[in-house]
Amino acid sequence: MLISDIIPYERNARRNEKAVPVVAESIKEFGLRGTIGLESPDNPVIVFGHTRVEACRSLGCTEIPDLNIEFCYDLTEDQIKAFRLADNRTGEVATWNKALLKSEVASLGGKLDMSRFKFDFKGKELPYGAERLKTDHAYNLDKVSRSSCNKRGFPALKGRMAKPAGMVGFNYAKSMKEEGKRGQACHFFVDDYQFERVWANPERYVDVLRGFDCVLTPDFSLYMDMPSPMQAWNRYRSQAVGLIWQRAGLKVVPTLSWAGPDSYGFCFEGVPKRSTVAVSTVGVKGDETALAVWQAGMNEAVARLRPKRVLLYGGDVGFDFGSCETVRYKNSVTERMANRGR
- Does residue 310 contact residue 326 with C-beta atoms inside 8 Å? yes
Query: Is the pLDDT reported for residue 339 higher than 50?
Result: no
Fill in the DSSP letter of residue 17.
T
Residue range 93-140, pLDDT digits in tens: 888 787 788 888 888 877 788 888 877 665 555 555 667 778 888 899
Residue range 292-334, pLDDT digits in tens: 999 999 999 999 999 999 999 998 899 999 999 999 998 865 4
Partners of residue 2 on adjacent β-strands: 63
CA–CA gap between residue 37 and residue 88 (Å, rounded): 13
Fill in the DSSP letter of residue 263.
G
Strand pairing category for 36-38 and 46-48 = antiparallel
Query: Is the pLDDT reported for residue 234 higher than 60?
Result: yes
Q: What are all long-range contacts of 172-178, with beta carbons under 8 Å and residues at least 24 apart?
A: 173/205, 173/208, 173/209, 173/212, 174/208, 176/211, 178/211
This prediction has a pTM of: 0.63
CA–CA gap between residue 221 and residue 234 (Å, rounded): 7
Q: What percent of the chain has pLDDT above 70?
A: 94
CATH code for the domain defined by 148-340: 3.20.20
- Identify the pLDDT of residue 59: 92
- Identify the pLDDT of residue 124: 53
Annotated domain spans of the chain: 3-94, 148-340
The domain made up of 3-94 has a fold known as 3.90.1530
CA–CA gap between residue 67 and residue 80 (Å, rounded): 21
